[in-house]
């Protein structure tokens, strides 16, 4: 299992939100490029960079993302507001190893299928989940289908991974949703990544034991709840 630090961008800064709420911003660091360098210095081989402003129609942090990718020492997976084939192609061309798609892909599975065929092994589908229901548009809309329904529907697609974020756990460091992740892993035909709720090394070991291939870690790294270098060494691939 690989551990991947989250760099969530809002108004040019690196932030961490609690429970997927923009009103509950707990961490703000004004220089995300310095943050990216620090995570690379600690030994992480991949970074998870998401443009929260683009995801919610509040603007974009494209220049900051390009600057992070230009560091060229870690793989970068990039998401947030990628809702056209051209946007996906552009971010991959700019240097992202993987493009993360969410809202449009979940609301239009035929577009996701086309995208996966165009970029096999380069697309990560990100599903934000509250009590197994998928939420899109920056957590503002709840879909009728569950995450397991969607996972079954897309099982034949050549995706790089499915990233499932337990929004009801996000930023709280009170433990991950293990039953959710176990069920998704059992259903999926491709690697499954987890996010939301990590607060200890035990959470990471538990996810690995359930077959999770990668975990995106935010608050626990930024607050020191887990030691970055230890995490990077223990969960390197």
| Chain CA centroid to CA 43, Å | 19
Tell me 17's DSSP state.
E
> Is 8 tagged catalytic?
yes
Strands (E), the chain: 2-10, 13-17, 25-29, 46-51, 75-79, 98-101, 123-130, 133-136, 141-146, 161-166, 192-195, 214-217
Question: What's the rounded Cα separation, in Å, for the pair 82 and 92?
Answer: 11
Cβ contacts of 85-92, under 8 Å, gap ≥ 24: 85/111, 85/114, 85/115, 85/118, 88/115, 88/119, 88/123, 89/118, 89/119, 91/65, 92/119, 92/122
Tell me 11's DSSP state.
T
Whether the CB-CB separation of 3 and 204 falls below 8 Å is answered with: yes
**Cα dihedral sign, 232-224-185-129:** negative
Q: Which of 8, 53, 177, 183 is catalytic?
A: 8
> Is 108 tagged catalytic?
no
Q: Which of 51, 53, 128, 203 is catalytic?
A: 128
Q: List, by residue number, the catalytic residues.
A: 8, 128
């Amino acid at each position: 299992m690989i551990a991947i630090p989250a760099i969530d961008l809002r108004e040019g800064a690196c932030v961490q939100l609690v429970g997927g709420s923009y009103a509950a911003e707990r961490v703000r660091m004004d220089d995300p490029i310095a943050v990216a360098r620090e995570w690379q210095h600690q030994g992480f081989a991949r970074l998870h960079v998401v443009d929260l402003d683009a995801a919610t129609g509040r603007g974009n942090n494209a220049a900051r993302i390009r600057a992070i990718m230009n560091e060229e020492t870690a793989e970068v997976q990039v998401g947030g507001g990628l809702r056209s084939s051209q946007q996906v192609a552009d971010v991959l061309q700019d240097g992202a190893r993987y493009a993360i798609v969410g809202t449009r892909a979940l609301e239009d599975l035929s577009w996701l299928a086309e995208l996966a065929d165009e970029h096999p092994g380069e697309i990560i589908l990100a599903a934000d989940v509250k009590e197994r229901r998928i939420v899109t548009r920056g957590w503002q809309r709840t879909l009728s289908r569950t995450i397991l329904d969607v996972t079954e529907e897309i099982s034949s697609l050549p995706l790089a991974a499915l990233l499932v974020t337990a929004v009801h756990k996000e930023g709280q460091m009170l433990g991950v949703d293990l039953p959710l992740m176990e069920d998704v892993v059992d259903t999926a035909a491709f690697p499954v990544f987890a996010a939301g709720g990590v607060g200890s090394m035990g959470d990471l070991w538990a996810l690995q034991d359930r077959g999770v291939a990668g975990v995106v870690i935010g608050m626990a790294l930024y607050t020191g709840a887990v030691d970055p270098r230890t995490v990077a060494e223990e969960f390197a691939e």
